[in-house]
Structure 1
Amino acid sequence: MQLSKYKNQNVAVFGLGKTGLSVINALVKSGARIYAWDDNKEQIANAKMMYRECNFIHPKECNWHEIRTLILSPGVPISYPTPHWIVKLARSYDCKIKSDIELFLEVKATNQKIIGVTGTNGKSTTVSLIGHVLKSAGKKVAVGGNLGVPVLDLERDAEIYVIEFSSFQLELMDKINVDIAVLFNITPDHIDRHGGMENYIATKLKLINGSEIAVIGCDNEITADVFNKFTGNKISISASMLPFLPFQCPNTGIQPGHVSDMKINLTSNAENIAAAYAVCKLLKIDNNTIIDGIKSFPGLKHRNELLGKIENVFFVNDSKATNAKSSEKAILSYKNIYWIVGGRSKEGGIESLSEHFTRIRKAFLIGESTEAFANVMGNKVDCMKCYNLENAFELAFEEAINSKEEVTILLSPACSSFDQWKNFEERGDTFCRMFENLRYNYMCCLV
């Protein structure tokens, strides 16, 4: 993307991770004068090697009378618990603070469609599923945002952009204009960043308020209330619409379509499928193409991902489940579960999952939350304190392989990974390697 309006303009960029570097790349190509910084010295050193055209000086040494725009990475807090020092500095000079997505929306062509997706759980799968179906329909599609590729690195000539919006990204944005917005469930998440549920909900609502038409999930109490109060163009969706997808969408031409034989798990992806179907119908994709696209979608890595089976034991990697609501979908997908759970707990922990404890054959507790989760489970669930993933994996398999019936070892932590891992991907990749090593060693023993 080229940002021609910033040619010869002084622009500050703070945060030099993947998003910040994509901003610098676009601004360099657009002829802007860039002043870049990060709290992390290693990030600065890396960026200096890549972009020698930039001015890497501490923001407090810049002449802010000449800087009119600050592009902030989404990890930088602008309000709660306290604004980052760079935010306070920029505001003291009445400098406009923007996100990379705002820059993207400023330059996209009027004939290019924007699909925005947000919510607490299900965003990444739905964004990827919509993109997959549209590509199957022959559309030139680009998928990114909070998921995968930063928006400024996406192909410039796409017909349709499918973008995942996180609450951190939405918090930064004042002007939003998308053709279709999808809002899923809203449950407590990142409350330490937003300062309460009211602020978190308000942040999510920015997306539908800036849309031509909103597709809103109504299985969640909060979003059902949002749907009832929303005065714009809207369509309701629900997981209960499967398997026949009987949408009630006046004037959209949507007809029931049968969905079966899919690669992804129906139980945990019902709402995602309903949303993708609704969006694609609004984009005038025919039923058969949508259904065929949904059937061929392989799913996301680390999201209720079936790795394989050894004897009577299935292995499922759901490392992307970083809160209880997300883990609930995986738990409802299986029976006889050996549950590997734990990490850095979110607000509310796993108390909301207690009604599903009967599906858990045994829990293997890991991470910071070990003691707290053991107390929650009490005498309701047989559990073992393992503290780390390696112990949990070995002990779970040792018990599962001796069972006479089929069981599922499910890594679905219901927690963030930051107590022991860099991110949920690293946690999930480790689980996958453990499975592959076990399968290899197990097969060798059988020879």
Structure 2
Amino acid sequence: MTGKTHVLRGQTLQYTGDPFAQPWDSCAQIERRGAVVIENGLIAAVGPAEDLSVPPGATVTDYGDDLIMAGFIDAHVHYPQTAMIASWGKRLIDWLNTYTFPEEARFNDSTYARKIAARYFDLALGHGTTTSVSYATSHPESVDAYFEEAKRRGLRAFTGKTCMDRNAPDSLRDTPERAYTDSKRLLETWHGVDRLGYVITPRFSPTSTPEQLDALGALWAEHPDCLMQTHLSEQSEEIAWVKDLYPDATDYLDTYEAHGLVGARGLYGHAIHLTPREKDRLQEVGAGLVHCPTSNTFIGSGVFDMAGLKQMGQRIGLATDTGGGSSFSMLRTMAAAYELGQLNGGALHPSQLLWLATCGSAQVLHADHQIGNLSKGLEADLVVLNLSSTAAIAQRIAEAEGFWDSVFPTIMMGDDRAIRDVWIAGNRCDQQDFDPSSKTQ
């Protein structure tokens, strides 16, 4: 990475540990008058502004009371569902058949795929999301479109061809052989290029035969440095369907494990209705669970057990799950996680919510040595939050007592108006780079 030297001043938030595993006030470091030095696309220093000298030739940006922190990481998204977000009134299986599959069938058109990829990244960046892990469709064109757009913007981004060979329309089905060969070719084309990572992607057990899961498990064994993503135990009807389709499986997780698709680099979206055995096995292998709270409420899936799973030592990230999720905003996603935590008897502290959306997601991606924190040596993907972005928020923080009391209203009531600036690999995004209202599509 190359680039100019910048010094950003404002309030800063840096984590030295997991606020679920230790007292939040011991691992969330706040500087009310802090600074971040960026050199060659990396964070060179973080600390009190008065202690950090300005390197010769550096550009200085003073954000005042705005909060400078790591950019948000959305660990589970379906970019092809961008245009159909907030579709009314269905449970998961009917929702897929009514809305999702017809929209995804359009992605055999590379022009359409590129249009939606550009729109998705505009919206994501506009909400402060600097890294996304997306499902594509079964069309290789959809993978190419996503990676091409992410590469053009200099983003760290992940995706993979979504593989399905049953219980889906003919226009979206492939075969075990095509799932393997397409995925391998795309992996060899894109994985490790610039800041891009390929993700082996069986949609979920109901839309893959055992033969297809075997093929993808074999591909993962050949490329163990790749991530693998799928869905797990999202809704009760889905779990019953899996039991009918895989009658010999011990449980839902076993439908993946029997085919080599359970491991530390596995990302398992939703994971709401887990059995004790599934929880133990996921924790044992160090797998990543991805909490998708707006989706879980919008589609009526259930309440994720954040407190219980974190107490076990599970690795957990946070995600919008657009378009099953009802917002592109990780702020709204944090608010929904808080609300579901309350329903489950545990109020998440704002330090925990912000950690999930940054460090937590980076950990499940095995990318915490690159992104997800305001730490020296990490890539300078940053978001700057205006903590008084609306009249409602501003009047609330006028009464705030302390830092967290002033941040929490933005988590609960903030939207894209709270995104003061976004920095990607040490380069400030122009407003038109992440504001869809500035473009005509």
Same fold judged by TM-score > 0.5?
no
Give the TM-score, by structure 2 length: 0.27
**Structure ID, larger Rg:** 1
TM-score calculated relative to the size of structure 1: 0.27
Q: Which has the higher contact order (CA 8 A, sep 6+)?
A: 2
